Amino acid sequence: MNGTTTGGSMSKSSPMATSSAAGGVMVGGAMMTPDKDIVANALNSSEHTTLVTAVKAAGLVSTLQGTGPFTVFAPTNAAFDKLPAGTVQTLVEPANKQQLTSILTYHVVPGRYLATDLKDGQQLTTVAGETLTVMKKGNSVMLRDAKGGMATVSIPNVVSSNGVTHVVDTVLMPTR
């Protein structure tokens, strides 16, 4: 591919789109396209309704619609379902906005990192100021959080106009 897309054009901020991601990637029954920002793409995914609700509750929508670029490790609804019963409901309450924001921003890294850019043992500093450790085995990418939890990237390289999203199967937890 030559960097163009069907039904839209790539923005100047997404020149690193790979040919596999240049036309879009199916996530949660919807086509994620590089002409939409991270939030617009997530809004269309039936697998990310909990994440979208949490991002709205934390007041992070406008941030993730910003110019970026951002790399987002986006937990699925099933990932949130792995948390202890009642956790999500508690986190989205206004009184817990700071804790929710801390967890969500722990899933965001400044810059644009495609799966091929991530190296085994690499330390990524999140916008929350904490570290995620990349682990690679063949083409599989995993992340270890500050508490030793592991998340596997199930859908890599979902390119958006302001960054890239990697769908993960577990909610990553910061130390604070």
Cα separation values, 171 from 5, 63, 96, 131, 143, Å? 31, 20, 17, 14, 10
Q: 3-class SS at 31?
A: strand
- Of 27-36, 142-151, 153-162, the one with minimum mean pLDDT is 27-36
Report if residue 174 sits inside a domain.
no
Report if residue 8 sits inside a domain.
no
Q: How far apart are the first and last CA of the chain?
A: 43
CATH number, domain of 139, equals 2.30.180.10
Report if residue 78 sits inside a domain.
yes
Number of domains present in the structure of the chain = 1
Report if residue 129 sits inside a domain.
yes
Range of the domain at 34: 29-168
At 16, is the pLDDT very low, low, confident or very high (cuts 50, 70, 90)? very low
CB 105 within 8 A of CB 54: no
At 118, is the pLDDT very low, low, confident or very high (cuts 50, 70, 90)? very high
pTM here is 0.83
Report if residue 9 sits inside a domain.
no
Average pLDDT over residues 148-169: 94
Report if residue 140 sits inside a domain.
yes
| pLDDT tens, residue by residue, 43-87 | 888 889 999 999 999 999 989 888 989 999 999 999 999 999 999
**At residue 6, does pLDDT exceed 50?**
no
Higher pLDDT, 131 or 11: 131
Average pLDDT over residues 155-162: 92
Q: How far apart are CA 55 and CA 58, in angstroms?
A: 5
**At residue 4, does pLDDT exceed 60?**
no
Report if residue 127 sits inside a domain.
yes
Report if residue 48 sits inside a domain.
yes
